[in-house]
Structure formats: C-alpha cells, structure tokens
A and B are shown apart, each in its own frame.
Chain A
Amino acid sequence: MKMLMASALVLAALGGAALAEDKDEKPYKVVDGKVDQATFNGYRRYGNSCLQCHGPDGAGSSYAPNLTDSLKHLSQEQFAETVINGRQNVSSSQQNVMPSFGHVEDVVTYLDDIYAYLKARSDGALGRGRPERIGR
C-alpha cells in the first residue's frame, strides 16, 4: 500500500509539473494524488457506464480498447463524438460495437468530467483505482 501511495505521489508530482506548464489545456486537476470534484465525478460516471466494457481504470478488456491509449491520439471533440454517436466496427474478424450514449443523461451531462478523468489516466497524471478528492 505504501509503495502504491508513493508511486501515485510521484505520478501526481509529474502531473502537477505538467499542469503548471500549460495550465489551460488540462481538463483535470491533480494535487498530491488527489483530484478535483469534476474528475472524481468522471471516475464514478465511468464506473457506471463505461467500465463494463472498457475495464477498470480505463485499461481496456478482452473486448474493448484501452482508453488510456485511445486518448493519446483522440481529441476531446473526437472523444465526445464517439460517446454521443457510438461506433461500430463489425467484420468477419471483429465485432466491436460502442453504443450511442447521446440520450443518456448520466453520460451526456457529465461528458467533460468523464473526459477529464480518462485524460488524467491517459496522461499518467492519475494512477489506478479510486482517486481521493482534493480538500477531503
């Protein structure tokens, strides 16, 4: 546990440094391994609507891609477009279907929060597991 905490701290420190450099571009805030309320909410909404396929911590499963990888090359607009409209990739060798979440209140309302959480994971600013909230 201690070791895990320590490595989370290091990651958080790195994330913090990056945050200082280009403040406007980071949709999340990570301080001492703790996250802002929006990013935390993103973590929970991810757990409700995305985890069943994309796995714990956005790390992917045997049947859906690793989102911490995907967000390295998807823009926020592309991310939003995919979540809202869904995506189908069905061929003789694969059967990948991302449903459309465009009419799902708990997803659409918190789309920016979900993006913030996954982006923090993708940037390496946030480790695995349930994040703590800043100020708690």
Chain B
Amino acid sequence: MLKRAALALTLAVAATGASANPELLRLQRDPNQWVIPNGNYASQRYSELNQINRENVNQLRPAWQFSTGVLRGHEGGPLVVGEVMYIHTPFPNRVFALDLNTPGRVLWRYEPTQDPSVIGVMCCDTVNRGPAYADGKIILSQADTTLVALDARTGREVWKVKNGDAGKGETSTMSPLVVGDKVLVGISGGEFGIRGHITAYNLADGKQAWRAYSVGPDNEILFDPQKTTAMGQPVGENSSLRTWEGDQWKIGGGATWGWISYDPELNLIYYGSGNPGTWNPVQRPGDNKWSMTIFARDANTGMARWVYQMTPHDEWDYDGVNEMILADNIQVGNQRVAKALVHFDRNGFGYTLNRENGQLLVAQKFDPAVNWATHVDMETGRPQVVREFSTRQGGEDQNTQNICPAALGSKDQQPAAYSPRSGMFYVPTNHVCMDYEPFRVSYTAGQPYIGATLSMYPPKGSDHMGNFIAWDAGQGRIVWSKPERFSVWSGALATAGDIVFYGTLEGYLKAVDLKDGKELFSYRTPSGIIGNVNTFTHKGKQYVAVLSGVGGWAGIGMAAGLQGESEGLGAVGAYKSLSDYTQLGGVLTVFALPN
C-alpha cells in the first residue's frame, strides 16, 4: 500500500509539479471505485468495468434500494470510496454514508442546519449535485453556500466556510472539485442579478486561496491583459468592463453553477459561466463578457489562460455552464488534436476546442431543431444570429416566437459520457422550443431579476421532447439519435461493456448499445430520474447505481405539461403531463447481475 502510494506520488509529481492530489489521481484510475461525480478529472463518465456488457445487461436487476426521505429533485449521483457509498439529497442537503458490506446500512448521516428562507431564492428547485471526496473528507456545498468538510469516516465537521450571501440570491447547487490542496466551488443565482465567481479554498482548513469573478475589472476576474487569450489573441485591458454599460457588470451574472474539469498535465481547470444579468437583453447592451464563456484557469493561482465566449450578448438564457469533457487524440479533419475539450452547450452547439490554447476547432448543432443561429463563424468564434429569432431585434414587449432551443437549452447540466473505446460522446438532450418576450425590470437585491416571460413546447411537428444521442466531436455530427418522450435530464455512463446507461423523466434506467443506440435494458425506478448513473465493484462484483426523484428545472412542466403539446403531437393524441407518469420521492437503486 505504502509502495503504491509512493509510486503514485512520484508519477503525479512527474506529471504535474506541485499541485497534483496523488490520492485522488490514484483513486479515480481505479474502476472499482467512483470517487469524482463525473468519474474522473476529465469528466468522461466512463468505466473500464465490463462484467455487465452488451450480452448480459438484459439480465440486470435491482440488488437493493434506499429511500432518502426527501421529496424534491435528486440531481447528482453516488460516490463510492472503498467499501462505503456516499449519497446526498436536495435541501436540507442530507449526506448518508452507506455500508456496502451490509447494503444500505447507514454508517453516519449528516444534516446541516440551514435557514429555510434560502429555498425561496433557488430558481428551479432545491437540487444539489453532490459532495466531493478527497483526503479522508467529504466536501459538501450546501444550498445556503456553506462549504463544509466532513470526516469521511464519522461525518463529523472538520471545517466550514461561507462562500456567498443567500440574502443577495447567492445559493449553491453544484458539486465542488478538489484539485491538489484546494477545493474549487462556484455559485448559483443567475436569476437574481448576482456576480458569479469560482473560489478556491484550502483543503486542509477551508481558508480562501483565490477568487475569480466572471465579470468585472481585470484584477477581480484574474485576467492578464497580455497573457490571457481569446481566439488566439490577448484579451487586452478591461476586456470585461468594456462590454458593459456603466456599472451594470456589478449585477452582471455569469453564475458558475455547473461542473469543473481539470487537466493535471497542464494544471488547468475548465468550467463555464451563465447568463448575463437580466434576461432582457435591451437593458444590457454590449457583449456582456465574460458571461456565457468557457474559462481555462491555472489551478494554483486562478489566473485565466484562455477564454471563449460562446454566446455574446445573450438573448435567450443559454447558460454556458455544462460540463467540459477532456478527451485526447480527437481527429478533426486532417489534424489529430492531442488535448481536446468537448462541450455541449445550452445554445445547441457542440464545441470542440484545443484545450491547451482555446483554439476553436468544431462548432456544430447537436439537435437539428436549433434555429437561433445559422452557424458559428470559425474566424471570429461568433454565432451568426438569425434576425427572426433575436429577442433583441424583437425588442422589449415583443414576443419572439418559435426559438429553438428553449431557455433550458438543447442540453442542461446533465453530464454526457465519453467512451475512449468508441471515441464517441453520448449526450442526454432536450428537444424543446420557446416564445420569449423581454420586458423592463428593476433590480432589488435578493429578488428575481429576470425580465422576460416565456412559453416552452416541443419543436413544431415533433412528437417528443428529448433525444439521447451519440456524437462525433471530430466531425461535429450526430451518429445516432434515440428519441425519448421527455427531456433526458440524467447524467450518462459509458462502460467497457460497450453499453451506455441513462435515466428518463418517467423513471426508467436504460442501457443502450454504444454502436447504434439499441435499447438493451430498461427498469422503472420509483420516480423520474434527473440523477447521474455510476458504476463500481464490491467484492469483485460490478454494480450500477442511480438516484431517482423527479424535480429540478425538469419539474417545472410537471403539473400541466408544456404548452402547445397537442399541436406537436398532431393526430397521435393529447400529450400527457409528466405527473401522469411519475411522482416525487428520492430513492437510490443499486443494480447487479444475478449471482
């Protein structure tokens, strides 16, 4: 054990210098455990395990279940470290340590004391995407922005620190990421006029190490005007301030509520920022940098290496926070890209970039319904917006209709999977369009700052609202697409068994064939799935686990279904609302093959 640790340490130091976390690097390479919410630092959601495979997955069955006792939307997924599984809930943000030797026995539970008024300032349900593990600690980012480190063996608090102010509408839903000796965490509140940031805290004691805002002066966004680049050029001075009118950047949004990835060799972290200020674009002229942006930052200092703004001057709420998947040796035309970053944005474009320098390589639509832009100009990186679907052109008090995708995006935070075996990406998507009418609003701290009203519905002529797709990130094209009745709001898992798992809003856990999307397995869990699937082994046997419990933004259409569905379905019949398929309730289900 000691020798292995020493070896890992040597490797880690060789690869990354001082900032690696040798334990985490070692653990995430072990397919028997699942120590990072998205599988590894590269956010690939891929497992080398193959006991469960294309041939036998149809025999998969539940081995045991566990009710969390919480009703609201359960995003995120279980962690498995050694012989212990850690699961979490939405507010009140319980954490359970479950013994895998006595399946479902509670080793410890933790429930923080939080002022429930925070519930009222969470925009779209009280979801949480789960804690991080590192260095014998479980690190949870609570709804009220308290970041707390628990002893992984006892659940006892080691340290805690406040990352934001719920009174101003700052909340937390995301999963922190531990890099080296630091815990990185972002913040939610894009609908409340907050100013987003990523903050690093010391893993040892919770002391703040650095904070990098998404918008504002160079010294607060941690930009070097000469060294930080965008589209290969230095960004210059005041690159953010120049794109806002007056002081509007102070309520400029750019929330950072999604996922963070990390490349240990480059020592860079990658994440995206959300919508700028109000949803009414007329009230905030300019490109509103650096909202809707992919950031690459030095993990030690937070200094930005490169940035790429996907949706300048957002007019549709296309947050750029979805996961950044780091994949190696992607073939783009004649070029073999050693270090690529692949990102499926809310705006409906699938991006492939060189993650060393931010060079834009591919930007193509991953849902053919996407219509707000014709294409992305590869020279400037700017989307070519279609006038008819520009809510800015339409202006205040004008209803711009039939924009695809809707504000919830062609894909939201539900993370995709990447299989190095097939070289393909497996993406849970939404297939929903909208009408959007911006109007003037005033800002009050801690109150919704939205300024647009919208209706959402399936694309014209479509009879479904989701697709699960396979994507070729080198060519920027859909390889296969499997329709689903509702948006696919669950994180995917690809395995060396050449299958990929995902959940549906009705509550089915499904396994499909990597090569053609053919459904090989489905099982109806007690509630809709918005959680992420994982896999691990215990005593040599492979298991698959997922949290069900419908809610989140997907739960907004729960009561009555989305509007205009009768039109979408045409003669097939009236489209039923989600509540006709599932009800609330958090349950963990662990699956295995029969002995």
- Interfacial residues, chain A to chain B (CB-CB below 8 A): 1, 3-4, 43-44, 46-49, 51-52, 55-57, 59-63, 66, 86, 88, 90, 92-99, 101, 103-106, 128-130
Contact = CB atoms under 8 A, between A and B. Distances in A.
Given A57-B563, A99-B117, A93 B447 contact: no
B457 to A, nearest CB: 9
Contact of A52 (B117, B124, B559): B124
Contacts, number: 122
Contact of B441 (A48, A96, A129): A48
A46 B441 CA distance: 12
B439 A44 contact: yes
The winner among A3, A90, A99, A103 for most chain B CB atoms within 10 A is A99
Nearest to B528: A62
Contacts of B448: 48-49, 52
A55 B452 contact: no
Contact of B72 (A4, A62, A128): A62
Contact of A99 (B70, B72, B91, B121): B121
A47 B123 contact: no
B226 interface: no
Given A56-B557, A61-B556, A62-B584, A48 B451 contact: yes
A96 B450 contact: no
Interface in B141-158: none
A43 B453 contact: yes
A2 B78 CA distance: 48
A62 B558 contact: yes
Interface string B416-451: 000000000000000000010101011010011011
A62 B119 contact: no
Contacts of B556: 52, 55-56, 61-62
Report, as a range, how many residues of chain B touch the other chain. 35 or more
A62 B118 CA distance: 18
B69 interface: yes
B498 interface: no
Given A48-B448, A99-B117, A99-B121, 17 more contacts: A46-B453, A47-B437, A48-B439, A52-B191, A52-B450, A55-B560, A56-B456, A56-B556, A56-B563, A61-B555, A86-B120, A90-B116, A95-B70, A95-B92, A101-B447, A105-B444, A130-B399
A49 B441 CA distance: 10
Nearest to B452: A47
B31 to A, nearest CB: 35
B73 A62 contact: yes
Contacts of A130: 399, 435, 437, 453, 455
Nearest to B578: A62
A130 B452 CA distance: 12
A51 B452 CA distance: 10
A92 B121 CA distance: 20
Contacts of B117: 88, 97, 99
Interface in B398-428: 399
Contact of A66 (B437, B442, B557, B559): B559
Contacts of A66: 559-560
Contact of A47 (B72, B450, B557): B450
A47 B454 contact: yes
Given A106-B441, A130-B399, A56 B562 contact: yes
Given A62-B555, A86-B120, A3 B566 contact: yes
Contact of B447 (A43, A47, A62, A104): A104
Contacts of A104: 444, 447
B314 interface: no
Contacts of A97: 116-120
B550 interface: yes
Interface in B525-582: 550-551, 555-560, 562-564, 566-567
B116 A4 contact: no
B71 interface: yes
A66 B556 CA distance: 11
A13 to B, nearest CB: 20
B182 to A, nearest CB: 32
Question: Which among A4, A48, A66 has the highest number of chain B CB atoms within 10 Å?
Answer: A48
Given A4-B564, A92-B69, A105-B444, A55 B559 contact: yes
Nearest to A105: B442
Contact of A56 (B126, B447, B455): B455
A55 B557 contact: yes
B149 to A, nearest CB: 24
Contact of B559 (A46, A49, A60, A96): A60
B319 interface: no
B125 interface: yes
Nearest to A59: B560
Contact of B450 (A48, A57, A95): A48
A87 to B, nearest CB: 9
Contact of B453 (A44, A62, A94, A106): A44
A103 B117 CA distance: 15
